[in-house]
Amino acid sequence: MALLQWKSSLRRSSSVPVLNSWQNHTTPCNWTGIECSHNAPLVVTTISLPNSSISGRLGELNFSALPFLNYIDLSSNSLIGEIPPSIGTLSALSYLDLTDNMLHGRIPSEIGDMRSLSQYLGLSLNNLTGHIPPSLGNLTMLMDISIHLNDLVGPIPEELGKLTNLVNLELSGTSLSGQIPTSISNLTKLRLLYLHSNQLSGPIPPSLGNLKEMQDLELANNHFTGGIPISFCNLTQLNILYLAMNQLTGYVPQEIGWLSNLTSLVLYTNQLRGPIPASIGNLTRLNYLYLYENQFMGFIPDEIGNLVNLEAMFIADNQISGSIPATFSNLTSMRRLSLFDNTLSGPLPQEFENLTGLVELSLFNNSLSGNLPSEICKGGQLETFNVANNMFTGRVPRSLKTCKSLKSLHLAYNQITGDISDFGPYPQLIDANLEENNLYGELSKNWAESTNLNSLALARNMITGALPPELSRLIRLEILVVHTNNLTGEIPPGIGNLTNLYMLTLARNKFIGHIPSEFGRMRGLQHLDISSNKLSGSIPPELGNCTKLIYFNINGNNLSGGFPVTIGNLVNLQIKLDASNNKFTGGIPAQLGNLAMLELLNLSHNQFNGNIPSSFANMVSLSTLDLSYNNLEGPLPTGRLFGNASTSSWFLHNKGLCGNMSGLPPCYSAPKLDHHKRNFHNLALAISLPTCIALILATFIVIMAFHRRKTSQQTTAIQRRDVFSVWNFDGKLAFEDITSATEDFNERHIIGAGGYGTVFKAQLQGGRLVAVKKLHPTEAEMTDEKMFLNEIEVLMKIRHRSIVKLYGYCSHPHYKFLVYDYIDRGSLHVTLENEEVAKELDWPKRAAIVRDVAQAIYYLHHECNPPIIHRDITSNNILLDSAFKAYVSDFGTSRILKPDSSNWSELAGTYGYIAPELSYTSVVTTKCDVYSFGVVVLEIVMGRYPRELQSITSAGQREKLALDNLDQRPLLSMMEEDIALLVKVAFACQQTSPQARPTMKDVYHILMHHPSSYCFPTTSEF
């Protein structure tokens, strides 16, 4: 009756095939999934219904009616609700598996009453919260515990050390904290210990070396410090050792070579240093060796050549020097080899040709030289070949030219030669970079067979011939870079069909003919450079449709005709518009004044006539304007760019420009006076001049006398005030107020520091608290006072409730600081790191923070004129007040320090938050902020930086892992679908392709209105 009652409570129980046999008036001993004892009386002893599509509450099963149960397996179903405490009454139970359901709540302490539980306790892959109950220490007969991938918090109970029969202990993928209890070393029968992907800290206990039966030890992705215990040399049965993604320091012990049964040694992303121990060569059963992202130095030991079973070796991103040992030719089982970002030198051993099973070879960013192995793709399995940025010479190996398995081919920045005419086809290829080599020949139409190609870069070679029209079939292409070659002929109009293209660089070739009007179809184009060719005709007006352009260069051609007014539609142009050295005629369109974000405009060496449009005064971001060598006339417009004597060369060699600037004649507002009027004026001047001189002298004498009387009253403070230019937000703020409040910038007032300055807390007279950022740029960056003040003018106009208010500034050639509103709680990053405060930051508050930040960035991108790109959205730059209201800070510091920079790569953000496109382009766009925002949203929902998600490419897997690793410190007080929306928004913002990311306007709209009909596109659609 208990079983039938439970069946009736299950959702859609009638449609669950395995329960069809559960009928009244029949013996349960014949029911599917039910077993009974073989002796009288007949009692139910087993419920085994794994993966049976059961959906309902486990708590509806009356366990007290089934006291003889010794086996329960309900894994891989859809059970919901909490684990009922009554389950602890099953005193005969030896096996309990509730893995992979949707159970939530705490693990009941009553489970510790099931003293007969000996085989297995499986609670993994649920949504269980709270602490691991210490009562589990009562299950002294138990051999296997698996509670991983839940939302548990708190420490690992010391009481688990009582489970001396335990063979497997899996507690990974939760949020457990604290240190590993030393009592774990009592579990001498333990063979598997999974504690990875938690928040455990402190040193790894040396006593773990007592677990001599251990075969699989995984402690990766925690916060462990200290060294690798030498006692681990006692674990001679060990097969797998995972210590990656911690903060381990010191040397890898030579004794590591004693672990002769080791098949996987994974130590990446730590701070380990010193040489790679030669004793690793003793680990002859090793399949995987991951040592990347550490501080190893010295040579790669020859003994690694003994690892004949090695399938993958990653020693990248260290400080390894010397040559690659010839013994590597023994590694014939090798499939993946990554040694990039070291200082390796010398030639590759020619014996590399023996590595016919290679799938990946990454050697970029070293100093390797000589020839590439001729048969490197002999096995036909090679997918990634990256030897960029070395000193390789010789010819391209024939096997690489026709390697059909290739997905990524990078030969850039070497001195490799060879005929490019017979490259391909590459049906699997996704990206190819062959820049800066000595390649010659013509581009083959075979490249068009690479229909998966996203990026093709062939710049700075000696390639000749035409650009194949067949390239128009590469509809997934996002980057096409072929500048600085000897390409000829016309630009194929079909290139305009590449609507996913956002970077097209054809500069410094010998292209002729017109610019195809079809280019106007590439609505996502951001970077277009067709300069230094032999193009003729006019600019097609259709280019005005490419409204996402931020860089546009057509200089050094034979283009002619009028300049299209549609170019004024390109309001996102930011870095450059260069149309110099052509033959343009007619007037300069006033519509160019719409380009408020543009930093450089060069129209020099043309035949423009008429006036300079007065609308140019609206181009507030413009730092360089060159209109020289034209036929322009009339007065210069008003505005900051037109009153600086140092910029006069921008206007030279024109027909009749005038203005108050060195090198230009002054402008006259009236016709010249006739001879008689001149005589009259001369007479008046002769009379008035002596009189004026006398008055000036008298005035000067009076001022000097007054000045002498006041000199004794001058104070040092006033002299100091004369040195500085201080903006007073309330008429009282001055330099002395700030220095007094900070005790001359004493370090005890410091509340933060970053790449651009140090932040001090200052309490002004009257009790007002402000944050003072004292900038510390280099002297070269501090010299342009006018530029600094112009940038301040832009930033002071920003007024938004979710952006930290800029009150004022102090400016001096060697001393600058900014005065902001003080936000009392500090940064979001600090809040998430504080265990107690993070509990207060409940889910509604976290969702509100996401909305506040989205609204602030939306304001900067879409409501400021010109739009402002933050460039450094991180959890450190989001401040919280006492009510957890969010404010975006540091929105202008990089802009102030280098406002005229056209290369923002060194300023474009914080590692881990930087958009991936900044690895190959210096162009910063609003989509860079969108990407960083996505990282911050994940950090908010997971409670920590989402490091474990960075290496996962599947969108579905990333979303699932993020939802499985939600921050468990706050109580779940939001609908799960609302949290899922935040995760979906975060991953939409982190698409690799900038065009695939939504705008902040879209993001803000979704977060505020949450329409159920809105769908983010899948990764495949991008």
| Burial degree of 298 (CB within 10 A; 0-12, 13-18, 19+) | middle
Distance, in Å, from the CA atom of 224 to the CA atom of 230, rounded to the nearest integer, reads: 16
Distance, in Å, from the CA atom of 936 to the CA atom of 986, rounded to the nearest integer, reads: 8
Looking at residue 695, its pLDDT comes to 59
Looking at residue 940, its pLDDT comes to 93
Average model confidence (pLDDT) across the chain: 84
Q: Is pLDDT of 680 > 60?
A: no
Looking at residue 710, its pLDDT comes to 43
Q: Is pLDDT of 684 > 50?
A: no
Q: Which residues contact 801 (CB under 8 A, 6 or more apart)?
A: none
Strand partners, 504: 480, 528
CA nearest to 264, candidates 230, 236, 231, 239: 239
Q: Catalogue the active-site residues.
A: 872
- Amino acid letter, residue 400: L
Q: Is pLDDT of 676 > 50?
A: no
Q: What is the pLDDT of residues 94-153, one digit of tens each?
A: 999 999 999 999 999 999 999 999 999 999 999 999 999 999 999 999 999 999 999 999
Per mean pLDDT, which of 240-254, 667-681, 701-715, 833-847 is the most reliable?
Answer: 240-254
The band of 776, judged by pLDDT with boundaries at 50, 70 and 90, is low
* Structure tokens, 41: 């009386």
The band of 696, judged by pLDDT with boundaries at 50, 70 and 90, is low
Looking at residue 120, its pLDDT comes to 97
The band of 223, judged by pLDDT with boundaries at 50, 70 and 90, is very high
**pTM, to two decimals:** 0.67
The Cα-based distances of 449 to 267, 355, 446, 471, 480 in angstroms read 40, 28, 5, 9, 15
Q: Is pLDDT of 702 > 50?
A: no
Provide the 3-class DSSP secondary structure of residue 246.
coil
Q: Got the DSSP string for 34-79?
A: EEE-SSSSP-EEEEE-TTS--EEEGGGS-GGG-TT--EEE--SSEE
- Amino acid letter, residue 565: V
Buried b (16+ CB within 10 A) or exposed e, 567-598: bbbbbbbbbbbbbbbbebeeebbbbbbbbbbb
Looking at residue 947, its pLDDT comes to 75
The Cα-based distances of 506 to 449, 458, 467, 781 in angstroms read 21, 10, 10, 33
The band of 38, judged by pLDDT with boundaries at 50, 70 and 90, is confident
Q: Is pLDDT of 693 > 70?
A: no
Assign residue 381 a region (left: φ > 0; alpha: ψ between -120 and 50; beta: otherwise): alpha
User: What's the rounded mean pLDDT across residues 965-970?
Assistant: 84
- Amino acid letter, residue 779: E
* DSSP structure class, residue 726: E
Looking at residue 1018, its pLDDT comes to 35
Least confident range from 108-112, 176-180, 385-389, 974-978: namely 974-978
**Which carries the bigger pLDDT value, residue 198 or residue 778?**
198
Looking at residue 809, its pLDDT comes to 77
Per-residue H/E/C for 916-946: HHHHCCCCCCHHHHHHHHHHHHHHHHHCCCC
Q: What is the pLDDT of residues 714-750, one digit of tens each?
A: 433 333 333 333 444 443 456 677 777 888 778 788 8
Q: Is pLDDT of 687 > 90?
A: no
Q: Is pLDDT of 329 > 60?
A: yes
User: What's the rounded mean pLDDT across residues 1006-1021?
Assistant: 48
Provide the 3-class DSSP secondary structure of residue 591.
helix
Measured in residues, the chain has a length of: 1022
The band of 643, judged by pLDDT with boundaries at 50, 70 and 90, is low
Q: Is pLDDT of 204 > 50?
A: yes
Q: What is the pLDDT of residues 362-421, one digit of tens each?
A: 999 999 999 998 888 888 899 999 999 999 999 998 889 889 999 999 999 999 999 999
Looking at residue 49, its pLDDT comes to 94
Q: Which residues contact 706 (CB under 8 A, 6 or more apart)?
A: none
Looking at residue 96, its pLDDT comes to 97
Distance, in Å, from the CA atom of 838 to the CA atom of 151, rounded to the nearest integer, reads: 15
Q: Is pLDDT of 770 > 70?
A: yes
Q: Which residues contact 773 (CB under 8 A, 6 or more apart)?
A: 756, 757, 758, 759, 760, 817, 818, 820, 893
Provide the 3-class DSSP secondary structure of residue 705.
helix
* Structure tokens, 1005: 């709209």
Looking at residue 426, its pLDDT comes to 92
User: What's the rounded mean pLDDT across residues 924-949?
Assistant: 88
Q: Is pLDDT of 932 > 70?
A: yes
CB 496 within 8 A of CB 469: no
Q: What is the pLDDT of residues 570-629, one digit of tens each?
A: 999 988 999 999 999 999 999 999 998 898 999 999 999 999 999 998 888 888 899 999
Looking at residue 669, its pLDDT comes to 53
Q: What is the pLDDT of residues 427-483, one digit of tens each?
A: 999 999 999 999 999 999 999 999 999 999 999 999 999 999 999 999 999 999 999
Distance, in Å, from the CA atom of 962 to the CA atom of 981, rounded to the nearest integer, reads: 12
Looking at residue 822, its pLDDT comes to 85
Strand partners, 128: 105
Least confident range from 78-92, 491-505, 644-658: namely 644-658
Least confident range from 76-90, 630-644, 681-695, 747-761: namely 681-695
